[in-house]
Structure 1
């Protein structure tokens, strides 16, 4: 398996400025010291479930200067998919006394209700990213289920037009059912396939990152060597499967393969841009658009101006428009 050099570089670079110390339940502001400037309006906090997801890392880097420009410190953490760590981090933010708003994507939504209500009682608005739960004020919300249905339906139509007709086509669905976003997307993809009427045999595999996807492809092909349809609720696990397939000699433009996923990093855009790429379906929530919406809602909430959710819709990516979505070019 080739090393994902861009992901490693981004994670290492961001770690240096985040000064994340999730193992102790403490957090540091992004791009600043612990000391609050006399001119600071306070701090705004963003909490993703883990920093092994490149699009979340990209968003943090984009959000930092926007929030600093507005006069706030920027705090973040890395719970590393541990719910107790995330709860502890939020407790620490509440106790700081200068945090004006918190936004998060929980490891488990129901486990964040109590700490969210505690923050609200302390006068700190709590905002959701990608999903909602009891105790939040507003959120930057995604059409998770609908996006999944769209991917599943378009994949099903491709299967009907291109399958050899020799029976049910094995489909590897690289999903994730332990978070709201993952579950909604995964269920949407499965329902979309059903809606299409395609003759498929779906194997649902729970994965969360690139390494998981690589391992899942090994396991899937050992059980179903003829699997040529690969769908992902997120792009990174499917990228792992793509890497394994190409490592095994599958051509980047093999006409019998279909890969498709929601989300897209710059590396996925490179793959989609290959002539006749086997990565035929991709839907992007641009990191820049998401980050700007996150920062806007956090600032508005801190200043008492937030009035509604911000809903972000996915955009279909093709070789023709892929260049418009590169984070490194924005």
Structure 2
């Protein structure tokens, strides 16, 4: 029994809802009630703010526990509630990809943005260590049937969360494609030892889905190249580190195939597909607006990535994008 159900009621979920269920409910309601999609509804901003406030509390484990026990007055962020529009963008701008190698989004927050278009060696080293830690959940066990099923289920839960991010499905496919390619290359090279057939049944059956909408295509075009370039470096370091015994590296490759096979098969439900384009345009518009605001504050034009320039140019032609905001 919880002390207050108002936030749960706002999101239309039960107090027993999982973290993923709460996030899905927030995403759907935020898309429907986003002020940019309801310019003629004076109540849209207030509703959007209520939805954002509810999610800010329920998505934080400590705040949710305090809310469940004591109610709203005892469950407020120490720094106050964030601006609802900025919060919406930050939540779905790649947050789920921050865990190690999965920190890959079509936003400018990518770690390899720090020095031009290439990822520094230290960043690759860090990502490689995190990837090793991730697969060790499987490689450092008996890798039996029960453990493998648990590892796959954990990966599926991550996939369900990641695909809600901006460009999430496309990023998952890019990651899965690279994992499978790199891992199967190593495994096949050892076929003569009788090891390469471990995942011979796994095939890359899909190609990256084409992102719909001109603005989305422009933004994604460069991101896919960058993501997969960095992933290849990271995978090479994880799989070809000569200080690590071959048997252990082959086990890492097998773990990457398990992950990659799930990621590359990720897809949206019909309901999720219906929200997809509107959601991506909201996130893209917010990113362009932030860039525009930054220019105004600094008083000079910032250099934009060529793909961002192209995204700006095509934004005005994208459906459902408010023209006064898209006209940069």
The TM-score with structure 2 as length reference comes to 0.24
Structure with the larger RCO, 1 or 2 (CA within 8 Å, 6+ apart): 2
The structure where strand makes up a greater share of residues is 1
Query: Whose radius of gyration is greater, 1 or 2?
Result: 2
The TM-score with structure 1 as length reference comes to 0.24
